[in-house]
Every structure is written in structure tokens, then in C-alpha cells.
Copies of this chain bind each other. A is one copy, B any other.
Amino acid sequence: MRRTLILLSAFFLSAVGAKAGVWETNCAGCHNGVVAPTKSSLLSKFHTKREFMAKVREMVTQGKMPPGLSYGKAARELFGAKGAVHHSGKGLKKRVAAHKATKVASASDPYAKYKKFFKPLPALPPIPADNSLTPEKVKLGKMLYYDPRLSRSKLISCNTCHNIALGGDDNQKTSLGDHWKTGGRNAPTTLNSGFLKVQFWDGRAPTLEEQAKGPLQAHVEMNSTPEIVVRRLKAIPEYVKLFKKAFPGEKDPITFENVVKAIAAFERTLNTPNSPFQRYLLGDTNALTKEQKEGMALFVKYGCTACHNGPVLSDGRFHRLKWNNDTGRYRVTKNPADKYKFRTPQLLNVAVTAPYFHDGSVNSLKKAVKIMAEKELGKKLTDDEAKKIADFLRSLTGEVPLEARVLPQLPGNNPR
């Protein structure tokens, strides 16, 4: 009720136009109704400065709007210092009615309005046209994922560092690999990784297929070679049969390319759509605790969603985090603008994938939240706020599908 009053009074108190200034100088050029929506069109769409700024952040991080155009000042011009609500006259009654209806529908859950900043996880991620997700391929991929014989030592499998029992990663700051060497960065989870637009902290692999080639060959990880992998698999009759089934019609199906295709196919099934938060998004109002809902609201209000958006709460884009000497994306592109940039990590199952950051230097989820708010958003969170956001993040822990968790019974490798 109070909010409705504010909405209405804001409408009557404010004029549609704001004083000329930052908007005219920086924005009006493009926002001409052709290149981008006009001011009045924006004002009819966004009712508060906060909503408006969330969209601005999203557009900037997606590269759809240029950075550094004093958006905060422009927003103050449009919405006033207090972020008051503006409306154009057209269709006001309709919108007020719609707003009231929303209020009634979500009466039992005052946080329902934040749902729109998130997207439920689809059952499966996008599937590349050249790697169909057949049951035969997924079955084979699962065996390969769990088979340590793909590594030079025959000790390390994909599952060693991306342990399905441990949230799809290990518990290491940075992974331990061949000859007990340590990797350079914290292992990200394979769960829901098919939804990421690029793979690795620095995004150097565009697909899961390309990603899988990395750890298999990295000296500090599985330290294998395509030749070793192919030779070992060809020596095991059951694998020969399974590759034929998974890649029908191919004359010589046991190839390194097919190995990573099968692994990637399996990984695309490692999705966890049934977390409390996902259930909440789909309508189960009681799936979140009050603290988690408050945390969700803070997560939106403080603009975490500017980068942590989409079905896995990652925009899949690169953002600067000067944290240690790791220059991140720059190592891949050699473009100075990419220095210290890292792909936004997804947040599904984040509570079970400590430690955090690309060097795994932070153990506490609450601490990680505080650091991110300060470093990326310039906000100093109170302990209570950070705790609530961490509580919200805990609601993102889902369940790995049973089928993916059933260990295969791998064929023996003793010669006849």
C-alpha cells in the first residue's frame, strides 16, 4: 500500500522531462528512438532508479552500451535523487492495476518481485550441432570421465579434480596433478558447466569439448597425450565396442576428438535444476528461508546480478578483478584491456565448491561475498548483509542426477 502511494505521488509530483545535463550530453545522441529507446520510453519501462541501473549494468557488462558514461548521474536526472518513480501519462490506469494485481499475487511473499532478475535452469544446456547428445555417447563419456587410465599415471581421472561427490570440483586451492604438481588456478565445477558461454577462468576454451583437451594434456594435471589416450582405449575391447556404438558409421571411432566429444556430452548432463532456489523460481514460495529471500533481495539491490545473471548466474563475460599477479584473460588475448579480467564464475552449487576465487585463497563464502561487493561494486557490506547473501547462495545447491552419480563398472585392462 505504501509503495502504491509512492508510485502515484511520484507520478503527480514529477515532470516527465529532467533538466538537460548528463542525459543530453552523454545519452540523448543514441537514445533517439532509432539506435536506442528514447528517454520517455525508458521512463515508461523502468519505474525506479534501481531497476534502471540494474539494466544499465547488465547492458554495459554485455558490451551493449559503452562504459564510463556517468550512468549514475544520468539516472539521478531521470528519476531524481531519491530514485522516485516516473510515469508517462499513457496507460497509467492499466499499469497501476497491473501493479496492484502483482501485489495481491505475491502478498504472501514480498520478495517475489526479485524473481524476475533470475532465470530457472533449463533441463539441458545448448547442444552443439556436431556433437549430438545420444544415450550411447553419454554412457561412454561417463566411463571416460571416471576412468583414471586416461591420465599418464593411470591415477587421475576427470573426477579426481571435478569430483561429482564434492560439488564437481576438488577441495584444493589449486588442483594437485601428475607427480603432485599444483595447477595455477582453482578448479571450477563441471556441474552445469554446459551453460557457461566460455570455459576456464580466462575463457580460453569456447566449448566443453575444447576444455576437456586441456587437463588431459596439461603437465600439472593428467599429463597425457592424445596418443596415450587413444592407444590405451584401443587396447580395451569393451571400449572399442562402446566407441562404435557412440560414433556409428565412423571407420576408426577411437580418436582424441571423439574422446572429448563423449566427455563433453556426459558433462552436459551434469545439471542441478532442483535446488531450493530453482524450486522457488518455479513457484514454491516456501523453498527459501526468510534469510535467503532477504539475501536474494540484497543480491539484486546491490547489483550482483549485473554480472551474476542468467540461468547459472554468470554472464559468461570477463570482468576485472585485480587480486594477485594473475593477469587472467590478458594471458590469452595479450590485449592490455583484458589485464586481470576473469570470466564471471557461475554460482550454482557455490556453497559446496569452496575455496573461492581463481586462486582458491578464500574459504568462507561470507568473506568471498564481502570481497566481491567491495572490489566489484564498491560496497562495504555489513556482516549481517553478507551472511544473508551467503545464505541465499546456499539455496543454489542442487542435486546431481542419479544416473551421473552411479559409478560405471569399467572394463579391466589385463591382456588375455
Contacts and interface: CB of A to CB of B under 8 A. Distances in A.
B363 A415 contact: yes
Nearest to A387: B416
A408 interface: yes
A254 to B, nearest CB: 19
Nearest to A367: B415
A307 interface: no
B176 A148 contact: no
Interface string A163-199: 1111100111000100110000000000000000000
Interface string A381-397: 00000010010000001
Contact of A413 (B176, B354, B412): B354
Contacts of A163: 148
A351 B414 contact: yes
Interface in A348-383: 351-356, 363-366
A340 to B, nearest CB: 25
A248 interface: no
Contacts of A387: 416
A83 to B, nearest CB: 33
A155 interface: yes
Contacts of A155: 160, 170-172, 176
A410 interface: yes
A232 to B, nearest CB: 10
A390 B412 CA distance: 13
B405 A407 contact: yes
A414 B364 contact: yes
A154 interface: yes
Nearest to A349: B412
Given A148-B166, A406-B406, A412 B180 contact: no
A165 B406 CA distance: 9
A414 B167 contact: no
A219 interface: no
A366 B171 contact: no
A409 B353 contact: no
A332 B45 CA distance: 81
Interface of A, secondary structure class, is loop
Please indicate which of the listed interface residues A163, A355, A397 has the most CB atoms of chain B within 10 Å of its own CB: A163
A352 B412 contact: yes
Contact of A407 (B164, B180, B352, B415): B164
A302 B146 CA distance: 39
Interface in A210-253: none
Contacts of A407: 164-165, 400, 405-407
B180 A165 contact: no
B160 A414 contact: no
Contacts of A410: 165-167, 352
Nearest to A179: B180
A315 interface: no
A399 interface: yes
Interface in A327-346: none
A416 B170 contact: no
Contacts of A166: 148, 410
A81 interface: no
Contacts of A406: 402, 405-407
A122 B147 CA distance: 30
Given A148-B170, A352-B411, 6 more contacts: A146-B165, A154-B172, A165-B410, A166-B410, A167-B410, A364-B416
